Structure 1
């Protein structure tokens, strides 16, 4: 039996859900730095976590100071060793979904999802339902990343977050580098730099979703695709998914409008459906005929 310390704030997902509106950017960065320091200790030991998400990070409030504990090290192990994919699909790196081995760079991708969650207030791909998760595997491998309103995220933060979720794992920074980068951001805020991007983005709009959707964010066996990287067309869809800078706050706050814009943007089509459709295409295609759309 393993006995762990009781943490008052629960896991990071619950903490963000309960406290996001009152969290300053300084507090968000301090949370991320504590997480990065903990993950760096794991990497310094030659290990990778392999199932890193907000449900596995515990938050304690000791003497009014927030403390972070990384839990669920059940599938952690030596980096580059082969493991059966297991975890929360919405956080899982594309290389793992393609059947490759976990590495320390996979953990950096996991960390990018935490950067997203702490900055936006909801887990990644919150708009994806349970029955769309299999399609999401192909979407992530094809370059899809969580959507957000760039108006409320500092440019320097956004740049690093995108580097961390780069499709090519070797383009991602080391976690030790992230510790230093986040430390510099914290220093910038504490020095009361009035030009700080973080001070300008202090006012936040949270994307609110029903709590019942959170129950799909649980670690489980992950299905992988045998498609290689070359099988996926790699457009930078994430750039196009950002909200328009001219959107009003009222537009962003409307959940129905938000979900409608996402749904209208894509038509979900599985590879199996596509192949079946191609097999049934009429070879005697008539260019003058009006086909249904």
Structure 2
């Protein structure tokens, strides 16, 4: 009897696994504008027409956002719910309007599509946004920020990063695009998120100091680190020796273990060398920065949250499940960490011979960068391969990564400990 029950349970698990796999497939084909493959899947299993991902987004949401008319038509023919709402309460029409996909807008309206959600022309009936939090102790008066000798030190899809002075102290100021600063929901989200971020304290996390939320443009103030970012450092230095790469990795892992700590897990989702900063020019202390920002700025198209910052550079370090629009969790950061470790030891970015998007495609297809560097000990190879495993459940946590790095460091031959930061 128990054997039969076990087989039944196993069969149910297999069915569930197959269902999850087909859901990912239809979302992927919708994303790729492959109407023929979408139709084939729906002929095999019509219920997939309203399959949803982790963010409750259906294939019709994906097709509407990208303006794929043939895919949208096919989905509607198979009975797609034209007014399904994702976790941000956006309907497919709201997505199409936000991205100005006129052909799809007409199609959806013809089939009874309504425009609700953060992107839509009106909110869902009877929805009242929660009140904005009161002014907090982190609210900075913009008149206290001195931009007279400011220099631009970075740029992103959200705006620009400037070096400025606040009460005489050098700071980094992220100045949000005016177009984003007008949206009440963005301001609300911005305040709630900053409320969380300013409470974080860790030696390997860039310190948030405050924000400007009651005047335009929105600004976010963090400590200024003189050493620049890891991307620039590796560009100048080339490959690091084993001990240096381990020390750098441990700093990153400490910061990430803190962010991933229960119960308030913060998933970075855009971990890459540009977002790892050197405290000083001695390069003996790293901090992780720019976490929370892609989540924080829910720009007009909700998919921008989903695709992270929108910078193509991010693709190089992107976990396959994010690229494929599958359900993901904090293990996406572990995958990115493996790619950074690879870059430190090899002296070149992962899939360096490919454009960032093509590199992400190769990773999603199961390929991984080729390990050649002498600095890669067998233990580091094993750790890297586990961290970039296709199955996110096989990737270790940052706590485990730290323990293993400490052990690897202890077992390094003594000559590895000299000239830590020589290339």
TM-score w.r.t. length of structure 2: 0.41
Which blocks of at least 5 consecutive residues in structure 2 are unaligned?
Answer: 1-218, 297-302
Aligned twin of 1:157:
380
1:96 matched to 2:322: yes
2:233 to 3, 12, 15: 15
Deviations for 1:41-78, whole angstroms, at most 9, x for unmatched residues? Answer: 0000422111111111111227x46221211121258x
- 1:50 aligned residue: 269
Matches within 5 A, 1:210-289: none
Q: Conserved in 2, the CA contact under 8 Å of 1:35 and 1:68? A: yes
Larger Rg: 2
- Partner residue of 1:172 out of 384, 395, 398: 395
**Preserved contact between residue 318 and residue 360 of structure 2 (Cα < 8 Å):** no
Q: 1:48·1:102 contact (CA, 8 Å) conserved in 2?
A: no
Is the contact made by 1:96 and 1:102 (CA closer than 8 Å) also made in structure 2? yes
Q: Which residue of 1 aligns with 2:74?
A: none
Alignment counterpart, residue 108 of structure 1, candidates 334, 337, 345: 334
Q: CA deviation at 1:150?
A: 5.4
CA-based RMSD of the aligned residues comes to 2.7
TM-score by length of 1: 0.58
Indicate whether 1:185 and 2:408 are aligned: yes
Could you say which structure has the greater relative contact order, defined with CA pairs below 8 angstroms and 6 or more residues apart?
1
The residue aligned with 1:143 is: 366
Task: State the number of aligned residues.
Answer: 188
Q: Distance in 2 between matches of 1:47 and 1:9?
A: 25
Asked if the contact 1:51–1:76 (Cα under 8 Å) also holds between the matched residues in 2, the reply is: no
Query: In structure 2, how many angstroms separate the alpha carbons of the residues matched to 1:25 and 1:106?
Result: 24
User: Is residue 24 from structure 1 mapped to residue 241 from structure 2 by the alignment?
Assistant: yes
2:254 to 26, 37, 55: 37
Q: Does structure 1 conserve the Cα–Cα contact (< 8 Å) formed by 2:273 and 2:340?
A: yes
28-37 or 85-94: which moved more? Answer: 85-94
Q: Is the 8 A contact 2:307 2:322 kept in 1?
A: yes
Distance 1:178 1:127, change over 3 A: same
Distance 1:86 1:76 in 2: 8
Does the Cα contact within 8 Å between 2:241 and 2:375 map onto a contact in 1? no
Aligned-residue offset at 1:5: 2.7
Question: Could you tell me how far apart the structure 2 residues matched to 1:104 and 1:112 are?
Answer: 14
- Shift in Å, 1:161: 0.2
User: How far, CA to CA, are the matches of 1:150 and 1:71 in structure 2?
Assistant: 28
Equivalents in 2 of 1:59, 1:150: separation in Å? 24
Tell me if the contact between 1:56 and 1:71 (Cα under 8 Å) persists in the aligned partners: yes
What is the rounded CA distance, in whole Å, between the counterparts of 2:374 and 2:244 in structure 1?
19
1:256 — aligned with what? none
Q: Give the one of 203, 207, 220 matched to 1:2.
A: 220
Counterpart CA distance in 2 for 1:111 and 1:41 is: 15
**Distance in 1 between residues matched to 2:255 and 2:238, nearest whole Å:** 22
- The secondary structure found in structure 1 opposite 2:390 is coil
Aligned position for 2:294: 75
Bigger mean CA deviation after superposition, 140-149 or 162-171: 140-149
Residues 140-194 of structure 1: per-residue CA shift (max 9 Å, x gap): 22211122315542111011101111111101111110011111122223x73x7
- Separation in structure 2 between the aligned mates of residue 92 and residue 16 of structure 1, nearest angstrom: 19
2: CA distance between counterparts of 1:151 and 1:25?
9
